[in-house]
Amino acid sequence: MSAFGNEERTSKTYASINAGKITVRAKDQNAIGPNEAKPKPREITDKQTGEKRTIHEFIYDFLKGELTSVKIVKHEKFGWQYIIELSNVGDDIELTIPADSKYGDSFVTKLPNLKLGAYYSIKPYNFEDKEKRNKKGEPVKQIGVTILIDGDKDKKVQPAFTKENQGNKPLPTSDNMDEDDYKAYMITLRKFYRSLVDQFNAANVSAPKPEQNNTPASGKGQEDDLPF
């Protein structure tokens, strides 16, 4: 065996979601990100200490790539998180979504309709619905993620659970739950959602890998994207 050799190295980009956008943490305010993006400042507060500090992030409308892995992990500080890994032209992206969030709920309800090895575009959203109102008469806030097959806006991945077909999803015990009952229901519901990750991985163990579309994300189309 030779004493010399080359170790293959791959880059990994860590992304998250904030205010309906994909965000990637920048080292500092002078860093240059994918697509020659410039970082924007955001003030964050440590929930445990109350300490405020400014971070810099690259902000994108969506990211896309081949789905290579989905995991559910429990972080000591941040709780349960969905870890979605994608690959695009040699770059690996790890998108973290809090499981106890509307983004997490939206993603995981579509998970049974996803396949490892397929090419997707993930676009978060966060907006006020002008047509719908809550009990207080305020616009309903719509929060979640849209997943497109091969990045095609006409090929949306649909949720596995709908009003017409709830499957084996836990259902509310009442239409008029108080705050405590609602919290208890959400704990049960999100525990069920987390179990979907194991079911997804079990279903994909022996599944044949589909033909993949290796079209790289490039330039600026209707939206900024991550060129991974």
What pTM value is reported for the model? 0.81
139 contact partners, CB below 8 Å, separation of at least 6: 128, 129, 130, 132, 133
Q: Pairing between strand 119-133 and 91-98?
A: unpaired
Per-residue pLDDT of the chain (228 residues; tens, 9 = 90+): 334 334 444 578 999 999 999 999 998 888 887 777 889 999 988 877 888 999 999 999 999 999 999 999 999 888 999 999 999 887 899 999 999 999 999 999 999 999 999 999 999 999 988 788 777 778 889 999 999 998 788 899 999 998 888 889 999 888 888 899 999 999 999 999 999 999 999 999 855 554 544 433 333 333 444 433
Place of tokens 């445990």: 48
Which residue type occupies 147? Answer: I
Which residue type occupies 111? Answer: L
